[in-house]
Amino acid sequence: MEQKIQEAIKNAIEGAPERKFVESLDMAFTIKDVDLKNPNNRIQEEIRLPAGRGKQIKIAMFAASDAAKKAKDAGIHVIDPSEIEELGKNKGKAKKIANSFDFFLSEVPHMGLIGRYLGVVLGPRGKMPRPVPPVVDPAAIAAGLQSTTVVKSRDKVTFQTSFGTLAQSEDELLKNAMEVYTRVTSRLERGVGNIRSLNIKTTMGPATRVEVVN
């Protein structure tokens, strides 16, 4: 499979039209013979990519006082907890913020408030904040998230995730792609036998099909 995925990455890169921005590379799975109505069969994985994401990941944190200072020092965007209720009443603004960041963090005491007012916006996007205990430096969590991609099938047989960008080398992209492929197939009862199709593409480029042999 490694050679086939390598060829698909090469074809996706060569077939990508020239853009004014750096495109991501995505891996799209379509699975079969899996009952996704059963939540236990759904795939939800946070995967550390060995060669990183190939771009700066945007992280925001609901924090005040000392935690807010630590977050700012780490380059994390800070959202004052006093804004949570107001954001909850302004769905348009809440959605804009939700779509502007890849991950969210929060001091533990604010988690309940976030769930109450922003859960309806952040939850479906898989962006509910990670709680940061007082003894943990948010910089350490943010550093780990810079190389993390998330795979979520929810109740859909077709799902995809980014595994890098065109700013990375083919070798780096292959390492990342194999990490994603291995993690996803390890979650399936029959492994590759549960994969109907696998495609690799750039953000706006054509899909390159990877031949999957059981």
pLDDT per residue as tens digits for the range 17-39: 888 888 999 999 999 999 999 99
pLDDT at residue 204 tops 90:
no
- Residue 122 host element (H or E): helix 111-122
Question: What is the Cα–Cα distance from 133 to 48, expressed in whole angstroms?
Answer: 22
pLDDT given for residue 20 in this prediction: 83
Residue 119 is part of which domain span? Answer: 59-145
Query: For residues 51 and 149, is the Cβ–Cβ distance under 8 A?
Result: no
Has this prediction a pTM greater than 0.75?
yes
Q: Indicate the residue among 145, 171, 199 that finishes a domain.
A: 145
Give burial (CB, 10 Å; 0-12/13-18/19+) of 144.
exposed
Same domain, 110 and 181: no
Closest C-alpha to 78, from 107, 113, 53:
107
Q: For residue 69, give the CATH number of its domain.
A: 3.40.50.790
Same domain, 81 and 24: no
Report strand pairing: 130-132 vs 103-107.
Answer: parallel
Same domain, 69 and 26: no
Query: For residues 103 and 57, is the Cβ–Cβ distance under 8 A?
Result: yes
Which pLDDT band holds residue 117 (cuts at 50, 70, 90)? very high
Same domain, 37 and 75: no
Q: For residue 47, give the CATH number of its domain.
A: 3.30.190.20
For the chain, the domain total comes to 2
Residue that is written with structure tokens 């390598």 in the block: 6
Strand, helix or coil at 59?
A: strand
Same domain, 94 and 72: yes
pLDDT at residue 126 tops 90:
no
CA 96 to chain centre: 17
Q: Indicate the residue among 104, 127, 145 that finishes a domain.
A: 145
Query: For residues 76 and 177, is the Cβ–Cβ distance under 8 A?
Result: no
Residue that is written with structure tokens 């990519």 in the block: 49
Cα separation values, 178 from 4, 6, 9, 204, Å: 11, 9, 11, 22
Which pLDDT band holds residue 148 (cuts at 50, 70, 90)? very high
pLDDT at residue 66 tops 90:
yes
| pLDDT above 90 as % of the chain | 91
Same domain, 92 and 141: yes
Same domain, 74 and 122: yes
Same domain, 139 and 173: no
Tens digit of each residue's pLDDT (9 = 90 or more) over 163-198? 999 999 999 999 999 999 999 999 999 999 999 999
pLDDT given for residue 17 in this prediction: 81
φ/ψ of 198, rounded to 5, equals: -140, 130
Q: Indicate the residue among 145, 173, 192 that finishes a domain.
A: 145
Same domain, 121 and 138: yes
Same domain, 182 and 119: no
pLDDT at residue 63 tops 80:
yes
Same domain, 12 and 67: no
Tens digit of each residue's pLDDT (9 = 90 or more) over 75-100? 999 999 999 999 999 999 999 999 99
| pLDDT above 70 as % of the chain | 100
Which pLDDT band holds residue 214 (cuts at 50, 70, 90)? low
Same domain, 8 and 49: yes
